[in-house]
Amino acid sequence: MSVAPIAAPRWDGPLPTLEEAAKMIDHSLLRPELTLAEVAAGLETALKYRTASVCVRPADVTTAVAALAGSGVAVGSVVGFPHGGATTAAKVFETGELVGLGAQEIDMVIDIGRLRGGDVAYVQDEIAAVVQAAQGRTVKVIFENAYLDDEQKAAGYRAAEAAGAAFVKTSTGFAPGGATAADIALMRRTVSPHVQIKAAGGVRTLDALLELHRLGATRFGATATAAILDDLRARLAEAAPPADGGPEKQG
């Protein structure tokens, strides 16, 4: 992925627990060049840290379902990814196939050109069709914000809510830009509190994650999961009070 990392100052607010932070992360395994061995290693990372989910390529769903069975880590996959230009029927079929394979979460890409052209009804109807095909599974709608102006974004977010999506999501991570603080704030202002926000693209540090969480993001697509959570573990250790009693004094 070529999206630049998000720059954020060192976080100086309260820190979440490791478990809380891990449950904000969808560990991303979507790069087209990943081998099966690399996917397996990524699934081990998700298991080690007990992330909210993994987001894998459609061809890897069966592998992920088997590897993560009983772990509490959900398996997610993508529809119309990464360009969003497939027909609605194709997106519906892909969603149904992924659900049949055991996917619990669906991240779908909208038809970006239709939204840019003002055909909001088409976008809403397509999202609604995918939500129906998902049969109650969590649907996250990817807008690829780098290609949209604020008016188009807001119209799309409202359409996603009206269509029954659980999340609005910033980007695929494969466009010229990814998540931004301004977009997270716009998303939060636009959709109702029950619609959650997923930030993806450039979220590679703990500081970026915590800043975007402050603005309203509740889930994060990340490849740097281990680095983010290891940094949090170190900061929590630094902030912990000394053990009671400390070392015994000699004398």
How is domain 77-217+224-236 classified at the CATH fold level? TIM Barrel (3.20.20)
CA distance 165 to 18: 28
Per-residue pLDDT reduced to its tens digit, 82-97: 999 999 999 999 999 9
CA distance 2 to 146: 13
- Please name which of 164, 155, 142, 186 lies closest in space to residue 28, comparing C-alpha atoms: 142
Ranges 40-44, 211-215, 239-243: which has the least confidence:
239-243
CA distance 38 to 58: 15
Tokens describing residue 113: 């050109």
Tokens describing residue 227: 């680095």
- Residue 240: what pLDDT? 87
Tell whether the model's pLDDT for residue 251 goes beyond 60. no
Tokens describing residue 111: 């038809």
Looking only at the bridges linking them, the beta strands covering 219-222 and 74-79 are unpaired
- Residue 119: what pLDDT? 98
Q: What count of other Cβ atoms lies within 10 Å of the Cβ of residue 114?
A: 17
Residue 240, Cβ density class (10 Å: 0-12 exposed, 13-18 middle, ≥19 buried): exposed
pTM of the model: 0.94
- Please name which of 172, 103, 169 lies closest in space to residue 136, comparing C-alpha atoms: 103
SS3 139: strand
Tokens describing residue 76: 């997610």
Mean pLDDT over 36-63 rounds to 98
- Residue 126: what pLDDT? 98
Do 146 and 175 meet the contact criterion of CB atoms below 8 Å apart? yes
Per-residue pLDDT reduced to its tens digit, 57-112: 999 999 999 999 999 999 999 999 999 999 999 999 999 999 999 999 999 999 99
- Residue 245: what pLDDT? 52
Mean pLDDT over 152-167 rounds to 98
Q: How much of the chain exceeds pLDDT 70, in percent?
A: 96
Per-residue pLDDT reduced to its tens digit, 112-146: 999 999 999 999 999 999 999 999 999 999 999 99
- Please name which of 12, 21, 37 lies closest in space to residue 229, comparing C-alpha atoms: 21
SS3 167: strand
Tell whether the model's pLDDT for residue 249 goes beyond 50. no
Evaluated on CA atoms 138, 30, 102, 45, the torsion sign reads negative
- The residues annotated with a catalytic role in the active site are 107, 169, 198
Per-residue pLDDT reduced to its tens digit, 164-204: 999 999 999 999 999 999 999 999 999 999 999 999 999 99
